Amino acid sequence: MQCAALSSKVATTLAQKPVVATRSGRKAVAVRAVAAQVTETKLNTKRSEEIFQEAQELLPGGVNSPVRAFKSVGGQPIVFDRVKGAYCWDADNNQYIDYVGSWGPAIVGHANDEVSDALKAQIDKGTSFGAPCELENVLAKMVIERVPSVEMVRFVNSGTEACLSVVRLMRAYTGREKIIKFTGCYHGHADQFLVQAGSGVLTLGLSDSPGVPATTAAATLTAQYNNLESVKAIFEANKGKIAGLILEPVVGNSGFIPPTKEFLEGLRELCTQEGAVLCFDEVMTGFRIAKGCAQEYFGVTPDLTTMGKVIGGGLPVGAYGGKKEIMQMVAPAGPMYQAGTLSGNPLAMVAGIKTLEILGRDGAYEHLDKITKRLINGILDAAKETGHAMCGGSISGMFGFFFCEGPVNCFEDAKASDTAKFGRFHRGMLEQGVYLAPSQFEAGFTSLAHTEEDIDRTIEAARKVLASL
């Protein structure tokens, strides 16, 4: 098994000891963590059940985001009470090792002490200004320094807002209307994206969403992920009409599906040839799979990039950025209008600054890569030992697996997964004290707070559950 250079002993030290200065003068990664206890008996979810029953009378489906309702895995949704480090506790005080991490933002661990202290200090100074503040400059400079494509950035309040804004920008810059996306890729819930989308749309079994005008959907053309010929065919059939192309450089919203480097390089070449804007949606991969995002990892630079999750350190935030000549189209520098009352709010900026600072310390990404490889390889080995078809993989702190032989290179391949078996596996893992994303079509996430012991216990839990299926 290929692993990063950190030894088990060093990785454990990174996760458990206080921050210390290294020889280079930079701070080493450190997070406090307490080993989680794996639940051995059937969960008591009485309080979760009561809260969720009441919620169904107050909120559509009882939730504020569809996947939380456990529709694709069945059973009682877990209602959270608190989180810390690599762990979460539900309303009945059951403790779990968490591999959702608030769907990605908790990369330095939940309620990280340094992030929390920075937020507490900022609260005393104000939570929202609705005016410029220096913190926006600080985080912007950190993003521009790290992300190859970004020369100028605009902060917003969510990944959806970043993606819908970037499509407007692509159209404004090129004077064209049509965009290309990929089947199973999810870029938020704006109308133009709810065409053969992934994530929550897949969870609900809906191919599209009612309420999206046919004229809007008609301007969104879909290709097959990792299939360059399907993209070439669309460009050929729509000469001079494609404003841009947007994709997840590593798919996380149909499960974990990595690209081939040749695919990304081909997209870069095609967009350049056709005068279309290439956008990487790095809301999920940004600052998670590499310090400079997926574009640094694969060595392919888009024209525009959308970001979210990690960049806000657990607070609501999004961003889009890219070449200065394109970004200067955005108001008030240019004619393309986009605004937001809470955009660049000081709390989100502070949390993002501290999170990126921690990720910049020695050993951070090596730790993520090492523990995540151990986790996914251990789960795949357990499946093989217990006679279950399973495939999967990881890049740094992002991973996923499918209950099928594989390989999975696109959403069409992912649909071969045994989703009923995944549902039983998910419930079994909850019983063992492990919280996984409640959908076969979602990636998983590790954090700097996860320890070697957490990984060992998770693999053992998976082996036990798989043997019982």
Question: In terms of Cα–Cα distance, which of 395, 464, 402 is closest to 433?
Answer: 464
Which residues fall within 8 angstroms of residue 458, CB to CB, at 6 or more apart?
A: 97, 99, 375, 378, 379, 434
C-alpha span between 366 and 16 (Å, rounded): 16
Catalytic residue from among 71, 84, 178, 309 = 309
What CA–CA distance (Å, rounded) separates 353 from 138? 7
Residue carrying the six token digits 């900026």: 349
9 given a catalytic annotation: no
Whole-number CA gyration radius for the chain: 22
Instruction: Name the active-site residue from 186, 225, 320, 435.
Output: 186
**Separation between Cα atoms, residue 160 and residue 105, nearest integer Å:** 15
Active site residue 464: no
CB atoms within 10 A of CB 5: 9
CA angle 253, 254, 256 (to 5 degrees): 85
Read off the amino acid at residue 355: T
Cα 424 to Cα 78, 130, 215, 239, 419: the distances in Å are 15, 47, 41, 48, 9
Which of 468, 469, 430 lies closest to 99 in space, CA to CA? 430
- At 228, the amino acid letter reads L
Give catalytic status of residue 241 as yes or no.
Answer: no
Q: Which of 98, 281, 369, 454 is catalytic?
A: 281
User: Which are the catalytic amino acids?
Assistant: 186, 281, 309
